[in-house]
A and B are shown apart, each in its own frame.
Chain A
């Protein structure tokens, strides 16, 4: 067990103050008001602060706030639109679409850290090059390698060399990652890839300083040092994370392209031109159970409640509109589909549920038909969800609203027929079926020991009992499940994937064979699928690519490496004093754009 870690010794606090005075003198502006605090809750514990390693939206929210990728999304533009972040402008792309040139803004500095020996450390093109190279270093076992692998000229060779020598050489040149000068980076791709530019807006592409990574080594996950608007101020593992506005943050003013809706127009009118970040502090509390999370918000102890727990949806937004008592208090509701997909993963390498033969497919399909998803939607999710039809989340390029899945409904009779037909029958009369060759059939489903998961466990158990499949449960914490799932050690598990890129590719790569061990938790590997996927990868968003995506969806449905679950409807609530809050489909943390109306807060307190 680790002790709580406090970042920044007194010496560096002094350095920070000095830097703050200097910045203040140069820009004539003050850092964000430390009295403006946003308190927010995570339903699960953070898993890491290393942007390379984060795989859950909670760790992503932290790393997005602390680190800077070269690109980011416009806060208000819908559909999501890329804008430069630490760049002077959008990258120049050559006519073939294989060469990207990025020019960095000057005068962007990292937050102070002992690794910099007291000097101010400027962000350079070298830092982005280093962060990209880290994904190819086998030591870090990057879960996001699939976003870069076989795309950048020469990078895969560097990885192969590192595997042979046991050490990745960060100083050896890589043709595809060229540092032209201190502020210019050039990336060369092996072939045109139209989603690659989006990858450069995700946390795994954010700049990290080499000195910091080398100083902390394997402990880098606990030492986030970035150039972003916030820095880690206080941290109690799995309990509390406090971010404070970076004192040396570059002068960045609120700008966005608002849509036609009144909400984003109002946000734009209110905050445009103000220095970012608008708030001085973010306090994340890890509150696993939904009741205390809900009550904390209702009692004003949380400023924003992201993803209202389903149990309380009828208290928050009965029949889809904000409850009158909350509306009277000035609380605002933000509702809509996120580009997310919930699905149950079968481990395709498992001797019982895995495999590509008819009998294995039949078993997975029977489990899919047998699971009472209607009850999940009605009773557990209280209709804050709709059935998922394809292995792609809604609202992204390449999503096909007309795709209807023939293997999708709740149909216990068909489940039984499938099992009977393929020899999964009850031979010893105990009410549970055996495998075709006669050995017992028992499936282990992994979930966390929370109340929320117990509801799903109950539903799975009931559904599987009804079709005669013995179900057992394995309990572990969320970060442990995440790791075990990645290593292929779980038989069955339900996960949600929230797109970090507004493109269907972001979902379909989850089933691409070579991504096993990274994002492909089911370890699905089908030659036909991989071939079509590679083909689609070379195409821009077009009817031709959609046709290939349609094929991929069909293959995924036919071989059933997943039980397709639901598309979630999200409801977020914000207190009246939270100004300018608008959830973004692909940004995990929008708090750098959010303000606190202190007067209103005081008025409500009175």
Chain B
């Protein structure tokens, strides 16, 4: 490949890498598309940094008071934090003596000594955090970054899974036709006849909880759209001359499917893949919002929004704002980027340039 890219422009016009290069050029000329690319790349860098533990590693630490005010609004009334201060004073009554019946009574002394040796650090909680705190006093910015990591990872992984499933199934159905086609069409019909959210919830009930589960659920339920498109592409392409030529020189079915045809339909997959990333980020949010999503020790935008639904009424808008804003920006940018990508990759547009 590198040799191709280094070759002269004259040669490129006749080279197989030409369409890709042209597509990239078209994409680069699309100013809105490029802005979106920058935004998406920025998100990816943040996700990468968070996954590597460079940022937001300590998102789970409770650094502020309950619903700490944002740094730019330090003087808002915070009744929630008030109520967690001055907890009822310890009773003066001496505790009941259990030593005559307690099976652990022989260990009392040793336990006291061991307890005294274990240090407990008291956390200093601040009244304000840069963009406010949640119920437990966790920093909202760090939480949003960590939430982005989970949400985007889930979105990408699930989209990848759906794309692989959709491509393989679509390729088999479209290429082989006949009984195999019938089989995949039947599976496709079963999956699409069930309302999407119901299907997701059904799988969620069977699989239990966890990140991998969420990815599996979304991937397994989300491949149908890609399958339909790919099947149509393969139906079209298998009769094309270049495929027949390959057949004539003795290329195997697998080679024809995945070496000959696949590169020629890959733009469809790429566009679908990016569309599904957006769709799955939203689906993860819905799942988490409904309580089927990420487990309790993790955070995603969905769980943040679920928490925020109770907070808005008591005037704590920052968690909702942070999660919605970051999600809206990413989803919009990604959608526009997908549009731009489709425009750039669609061979029919070539004639216009």
A257 at the interface (CB under 8 A from B): no
Q: How far is the CA of A552 from the CA of B43 in the complex (A)?
A: 60
Say how far A369's CB is from chain B's closest CB, in angstroms: 9
Contact of A450 among B83, B87, B291, B296 (CB under 8 A): B291
Pair B96/A312 contact, Cβ less than 8 Å: no
- Chain A, 394-436, CB within 8 A of any chain B CB: 402-408, 411-414, 416-418, 420-421
Q: Which of B83, B291, B295 counts the most A-chain CB atoms under 10 A from its CB?
A: B83
- Across the interface, which residues of A come within 8 angstroms of B83, CB to CB? 314, 378, 382-383
Say how far A140's CB is from chain B's closest CB, in angstroms: 30
Contacts known (A358-B104, A402-B93, A421-B110); A554 close to B120, Cβ less than 8 A: no
A293-321 interface mask toward B, CB cutoff 8 Å, 1 = contact, 0 = none? 01100000000000000011011001000
Give the contact-size bracket for chain B. Answer: 35 or more
- Chain A, 266-295, CB within 8 A of any chain B CB: 289-291, 294-295
Chain B residue with Cβ nearest A402: B93
- Across the interface, which residues of B come within 8 angstroms of A386, CB to CB? 88
Contact of A374 among B87, B309, B314 (CB under 8 A): B87
Pair B209/A461 contact, Cβ less than 8 Å: no
Say how far B208's CB is from chain A's closest CB, in angstroms: 8
Contact of B313 among A294, A357, A380, A555 (CB under 8 A): A294
Say how far B92's CB is from chain A's closest CB, in angstroms: 9
Contact of B306 among A405, A408, A451 (CB under 8 A): A451
- Across the interface, which residues of B come within 8 angstroms of A213, CB to CB? none
Pair A457/B296 contact, Cβ less than 8 Å: yes
A365 at the interface (CB under 8 A from B): yes
Interface secondary structure of B, over-half rule: loop
Q: How far is the CA of A550 from the CA of B296 in the complex (A)?
A: 39
A379 at the interface (CB under 8 A from B): yes
B275-315 interface mask toward A, CB cutoff 8 Å, 1 = contact, 0 = none? 00000000000000011100111000001001101100110
Pair A290/B79 contact, Cβ less than 8 Å: no
- Chain B, 96-134, CB within 8 A of any chain A CB: 96-98, 101-104, 107, 110-111, 114-115, 117-120
Contacts known (A379-B66, A404-B91); A454 close to B291, Cβ less than 8 A: yes
Say how far B41's CB is from chain A's closest CB, in angstroms: 33
Q: How far is the CA of A553 from the CA of B80 in the complex (A)?
A: 34
Q: How far is the CA of A311 from the CA of B98 in the complex (A)?
A: 37
Say how far B311's CB is from chain A's closest CB, in angstroms: 8
Pair B103/A378 contact, Cβ less than 8 Å: no
Q: How far is the CA of A475 from the CA of B213 in the complex (A)?
A: 15
Pair A404/B87 contact, Cβ less than 8 Å: no
Pair A405/B96 contact, Cβ less than 8 Å: yes
B135 at the interface (CB under 8 A from A): yes
Pair A414/B111 contact, Cβ less than 8 Å: yes
Say how far B258's CB is from chain A's closest CB, in angstroms: 41
A362 at the interface (CB under 8 A from B): yes
Pair A451/B307 contact, Cβ less than 8 Å: yes
Pair B314/A475 contact, Cβ less than 8 Å: no
Q: How far is the CA of A261 from the CA of B85 in the complex (A)?
A: 33
- Across the interface, which residues of A come within 8 angstroms of B95, CB to CB? 404-406, 408
Pair B135/A406 contact, Cβ less than 8 Å: no
Q: How far is the CA of A449 from the CA of B135 in the complex (A)?
A: 19
Contact of A417 among B98, B103, B115 (CB under 8 A): B115
A356-379 interface mask toward B, CB cutoff 8 Å, 1 = contact, 0 = none? 111001100100000000110111
Contact of B80 among A291, A295, A382 (CB under 8 A): A382
B195 at the interface (CB under 8 A from A): no
Say how far B292's CB is from chain A's closest CB, in angstroms: 7
Q: How far is the CA of A406 from the CA of B96 in the complex (A)?
A: 6
Pair B135/A361 contact, Cβ less than 8 Å: no
Pair A295/B313 contact, Cβ less than 8 Å: yes
B94 at the interface (CB under 8 A from A): yes
Chain A residue with Cβ nearest B295: A473
- Across the interface, which residues of B come within 8 angstroms of A357, CB to CB? 103
- Across the interface, which residues of A come within 8 angstroms of B94, CB to CB? 404
- Across the interface, which residues of A come within 8 angstroms of B291, CB to CB? 449-451, 454, 475
Pair B79/A558 contact, Cβ less than 8 Å: no
- Across the interface, which residues of B come within 8 angstroms of A66, CB to CB? none
B130-147 interface mask toward A, CB cutoff 8 Å, 1 = contact, 0 = none? 000001100000000000
Say how far B287's CB is from chain A's closest CB, in angstroms: 11
Say how far B109's CB is from chain A's closest CB, in angstroms: 11
Q: How far is the CA of A239 from the CA of B18 in the complex (A)?
A: 61
A315-359 interface mask toward B, CB cutoff 8 Å, 1 = contact, 0 = none? 100100000000000000000000000000000000000001110
Pair A473/B313 contact, Cβ less than 8 Å: no
A432-461 interface mask toward B, CB cutoff 8 Å, 1 = contact, 0 = none? 000000000000000001110011011001
17 contacts between A and B (CB under 8 A): A290-B310, A294-B313, A312-B313, A357-B103, A361-B104, A375-B84, A378-B83, A383-B83, A383-B84, A404-B91, A406-B96, A407-B98, A413-B115, A413-B118, A458-B296, A465-B297, A473-B209
Beyond A374-B87, A450-B291, 19 additional pairs, beta carbon < 8 A? A291-B313, A294-B313, A314-B80, A314-B83, A358-B103, A375-B136, A378-B83, A379-B66, A382-B83, A383-B87, A404-B94, A404-B95, A406-B97, A407-B98, A413-B119, A454-B306, A461-B296, A465-B297, A559-B103
Considering the complex of A and B, which 6 residue pairs feature the smallest CB-CB distances, nearest first? A378-B84, A406-B95, A449-B291, A417-B114, A413-B118, A314-B79
